[in-house]
């Protein structure tokens, strides 16, 4: 496949191309194009994949909200709202077939290779997070819920009268402003941390480290500004307070388009104190999570044991199909969205 000069074509197959948002689809296209934004500029007239998919996602959410009010899904309306550029891109790179379509139009082929398997019932398991029981999901959930995440809530520290008036005017006009947006964003970041823990202790550790690095960079910028660093004369705060592109939630992308503030417009002593509190708490969680090695990860050990059992005792009735397994921590049984399924 990767030999130089080989005329290679690759077909990617997915039963769930869009899992939670159209960002899933965008990432698959990045896989096709090696991350090149303008890969379909000449062939399909798509200038930027990111811009097109972000706009399509907004339209999709708007359609969902409208359907919730009307009570009747209108797919024709959705296709119209998504726009010609999005549909041209989708038609240019993908082809979709439902189970019903395959059974109807590929009947002879189905008779030759066999019918769809009958799905086996999933096995639900709720193992602990840590074999040594030194780290519990409930304990970590409480700590994560206490994060202020001040690095993402710049508006909460605004003291400049003009900027405060802007926030108040926006709330009166739209019943929502940047301060509200940042507050909701922090709520989603807390949930995202729990999702990372559901994935693995290692994934949560990486998330903690990225956030700590953001805080360190911001504290360094504030310190240099207070010491009169000429490069910090304007003291513009923007990139340091934006969330990373999260692959699971399009709202993180939407919240990247926030108005920046200048350090002179903010209550720096109060902000620094909250940033340092967050840093200390995040570091504590990171260190506790880092102690959970693969050998101590109960979910991983449980998964390996199940795989070994399947190898030693293969399913006799192959028509029964694969068995799905869902790993949920005891505290998250009512929240299947953050379970890990294989």
pLDDT tens string, the chain, 342 residues long: the values are 677 887 777 888 888 888 777 888 888 888 888 888 888 988 998 888 888 988 888 888 888 877 777 777 778 888 888 888 888 998 888 888 888 999 999 999 999 999 888 888 888 877 777 888 877 778 888 888 888 999 989 999 999 999 999 999 988 888 888 888 888 888 888 888 888 887 788 888 999 999 999 999 999 989 988 888 756 555 666 555 666 654 444 443 334 446 788 888 999 999 999 999 999 999 999 998 998 888 888 888 888 998 999 899 876 544 444 444 444 444 433 333 333 333
Closest to 130 in 3D by CA, of 211, 208, 202, 212 = 202
Q: Give the single-character DSSP code of 243.
A: P
Q: What is the pLDDT of residue 72?
A: 72
**Separation CA 280–CA 148 (nearest Å):** 12
**Separation CA 116–CA 319 (nearest Å):** 8
CB 276 within 8 A of CB 251: no
Look at phi and psi of residue 181 and say left if phi exceeds 0, alpha if psi is from -120 to 50, else beta: alpha
Phi, psi dihedral angles at 237 (to 5 degrees): -110, 115
For residue range 89-118, list pLDDT tens digits in order: 988 888 888 889 999 999 999 999 998 888
- Domain borders along the chain are 23-101, 132-294, 295-341
Q: Which residue has the tokens 């689809």?
A: 25
Q: What is the pLDDT of residue 335?
A: 35
Q: Give the single-character DSSP code of 158.
A: B
**Separation CA 201–CA 209 (nearest Å):** 12
Tally of residues, the chain: 342
**Separation CA 33–CA 10 (nearest Å):** 12
CB 255 within 8 A of CB 178: no
Q: What's the farthest any 2 CA atoms get from each other in the chain?
A: 77
**Separation CA 202–CA 287 (nearest Å):** 11
**Separation CA 23–CA 30 (nearest Å):** 10
DSSP bridge partners of 297: 130
Closest to 219 in 3D by CA, of 183, 254, 263, 167 = 263
**Separation CA 334–CA 56 (nearest Å):** 31
Q: Which residue has the tokens 């086996």?
A: 120
**Separation CA 58–CA 159 (nearest Å):** 32
Q: What is the pLDDT of residue 232?
A: 56
**Number of alpha helices (DSSP H) and beta strands (DSSP E) in the chain:** 14, 5
**Separation CA 326–CA 231 (nearest Å):** 52
| Six token digits for residue 50 | 């990111």
Q: What is the pLDDT of residue 313?
A: 86
DSSP string across 98-151 = -HHHHHHHSHHHHHHH-PPPPPPPPEEE---SBTTSSS-HHHHHHHHHT---GG
Helices (H), the chain: 23-33, 41-44, 49-70, 75-82, 84-93, 99-105, 107-113, 137-145, 161-174, 178-199, 201-226, 250-254, 268-290, 298-312
CB 59 within 8 A of CB 43: no
How much is the pTM? Answer: 0.59
Secondary structure class of 209 (helix, strand, coil)? helix
Q: What is the pLDDT of residue 336?
A: 35
For residue range 154-165, list pLDDT tens digits in order: 999 999 999 999
């Amino acid at each position: 496949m990767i030999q130089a000069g080989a005329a290679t074509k690759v077909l990617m197959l997915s039963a769930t191309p869009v899992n939670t948002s159209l960002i899933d689809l965008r990432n698959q296209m990045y896989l096709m194009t090696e991350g090149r934004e303008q890969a379909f500029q000449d062939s399909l007239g798509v200038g930027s994949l990111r811009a097109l998919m972000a706009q399509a996602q907004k339209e999709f959410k708007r359609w969902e909200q409208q359907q919730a009010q009307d009570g009747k899904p209108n797919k024709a309306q959705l296709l119209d709202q998504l726009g010609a550029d999005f549909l041209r891109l989708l038609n240019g790179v993908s082809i979709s077939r439902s189970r019903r379509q395959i059974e109807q139009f590929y009947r002879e082929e189905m008779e030759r290779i066999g019918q769809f398997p009958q799905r086996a019932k999933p096995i639900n398991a709720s193992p602990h997070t840590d074999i040594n029981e030194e780290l519990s999901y409930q304990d970590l959930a409480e700590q994560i819920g206490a994060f202020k995440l001040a690095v993402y809530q710049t508006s909460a520290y605004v003291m400049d009268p003009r900027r405060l008036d802007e926030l108040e005017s926006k709330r009166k006009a739209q019943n929502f402003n940047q301060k509200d947006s940042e507050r909701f964003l922090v709520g989603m970041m807390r949930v995202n941390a729990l999702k990372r823990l559901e994935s693995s202790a290692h994934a949560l550790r990486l998330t903690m480290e990225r956030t700590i690095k953001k805080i360190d960079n911001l504290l360094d910028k504030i310190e240099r500004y207070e010491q009169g660093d000429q490069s910090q004369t304007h003291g513009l705060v923007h990139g340091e307070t934006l969330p990373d592109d999260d692959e699971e939630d399009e709202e993180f992308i939407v919240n990247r388009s926030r108005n920046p503030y200048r350090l002179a417009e903010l209550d720096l002593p109060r902000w620094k104190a909250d940033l340092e509190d967050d840093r200390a708490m995040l570091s504590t969680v990171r260190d506790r999570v880092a102690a959970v090695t693969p050998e101590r990860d109960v979910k991983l050990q449980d998964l390996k044991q199940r795989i070994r059992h399947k190898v030693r005792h293969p399913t006799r009735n192959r028509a029964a199909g694969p068995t799905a397994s869902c790993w949920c921590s005891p505290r998250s049984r009512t929240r299947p969205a953050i379970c890990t399924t294989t």
